[in-house]
Amino acid sequence: MKVPWFILLMTTLFLVVLPLPDHQVHASRSNIIAERGHLAPNTAKHHKPPFRPGPWKPAHATFYGGSDGSQTMGGACGYENLIEEGYGLQTAALSQQLFNGGQTCGACYEIKCVNDAQWCKPGQPSMLVTATNLCPPNGQLSSQNGGWCNPPLEHFDIAQPAFVQVAEYKAGIIPVQYRRIPCQKKGGIKFTITGNPYFNMVLVWNVGGAGDVTSLQVKGGKKLKWTQMDRNWGQKWTTGAMMQGERLTFRVTTSDGKTSTSWNIVPENWQFGQTFEGKNFK
C-alpha cells in the first residue's frame, strides 16, 4: 500500500523540529563556539587542593650574612630588597641539589635543629624561611669539611638572624630536619617589569601556596597572543615579544601544578620599572 504524500511530508517535518535533549543542545553549542575560537569545549573543572606541608627530611645547615642580615640582600633568585619585598630576614640559600637551577626560588621551608644537644636550642623550636639564594658548591673542599653545598648534599645556608632561632651562634654547622610548607603571603603576586622593548624581563615575587614558579606566560590585549616566557635566572623571566603598548595578563604556574591568571592587571601605558599586583594562590 502506498503512503499518501502529505503523511510523509508531515512525518519529515515532525522529525526536523523534534527538540534535542538539553545536554545535547548545550554540547552542540559549545562545540560550535569552540570551533569559532571563542571558548574551549565544555570540560569538567578539576580543582587542585591547597599546597600541603611535605614530609620531614634530614639535612644540614650553616649561616651567613651577619647579625643584621644585610649581606643576604639580593642573590641568585633575582629578588632585590628582601625587606621591602616581604621576605625579611627569614631567608636561606640552598645547595645546588635543592636550588634546582633556580626553580625552587620562592619555596618556603620549616627547619628545626635536631640530634645535637650541645648546639640545638632547648625544646627543638622551628624556623620558617624562604629560598632566596644559591649556596654554590666548592670543589676545592670536601663535602664533609667545608664543601657543605657540594652535590648531592641537601644543605641550607641560612640568614644568621633566622639561624640563631634554632641553634647557638657558635655551632657553625648543625644537623636539621626540614619540610616544604605553604607560603603565606599578604596581597597578590607581584610582577616587576624591567628591560627594554626588545628584551622584557619580569620578576615574579610574593607568590603564595607552593611559592616556586615553574612557568610564566604573558598575553596582551591587542596583538600579543599567549606567549611562554623563559627563565633567565632565579625568578626573573624574559621574552623578546613586543609587550610595550599592550594591556597585559600574566599566568603563573607553580611546582604543584596550580595556575593563577591575573587578567588585564597591566594598563597599556605601563612603563619599565613598575610593579603590578595580580591574583595570588590561596
Is 170 found in the same domain as 145?
yes
Rounded CA-CA distance 1/8 in Å is: 13
pLDDT at residue number 242? 96
Quote the Cα angle for 197-199-204, to 5°. 105
Q: Are residues 98 and 145 in the same domain?
A: yes
CATH classification at residue 265: 2.60.40.760
pLDDT by residue (tens digit) across 111-168? 999 999 999 999 999 999 999 999 999 989 998 889 999 999 999 999 999 999 999 9
For 65, phi and psi rounded to 5 degrees? 100, -5
| 8, part of any domain | no
Q: Answer yes or no: do 211 and 163 share one domain.
A: no
Q: Is 42 inside a domain boundary?
A: no
Number of domains into which the chain is organized: 2
| 117 lies in the same domain as 200 | no
Task: Tell me, yes or no, whether 204 lies in a domain.
Answer: yes
Q: How far apart, in whole angstroms, are the C-alpha atoms of residue 244 and residue 18?
A: 53
- Please tell me whether the overall predicted TM-score, pTM, comes out greater than 0.75 for this model: yes
Chosen domain end from 158, 180, 202:
180
pLDDT in tens, 67-114: 777 667 889 999 989 999 999 999 999 999 999 999 999 999 999 999
Q: Distance between CA 29 and CA 129 in Å, rounded?
A: 50
Instruction: Give residue-wise pLDDT tens across range 4-44.
Output: 544 444 444 433 434 444 434 333 333 333 333 333 333 33
Q: 207 and 175, same structural domain? A: no
* pLDDT of the residue at 2: 52
Residue 18 lies in a domain: no
Of 121, 147, 180, which closes a domain? Answer: 180
Domain that holds residue 259: 189-278
The candidate with the shortest Cα–Cα distance to 274, out of 199, 207, 220, 194, is 194
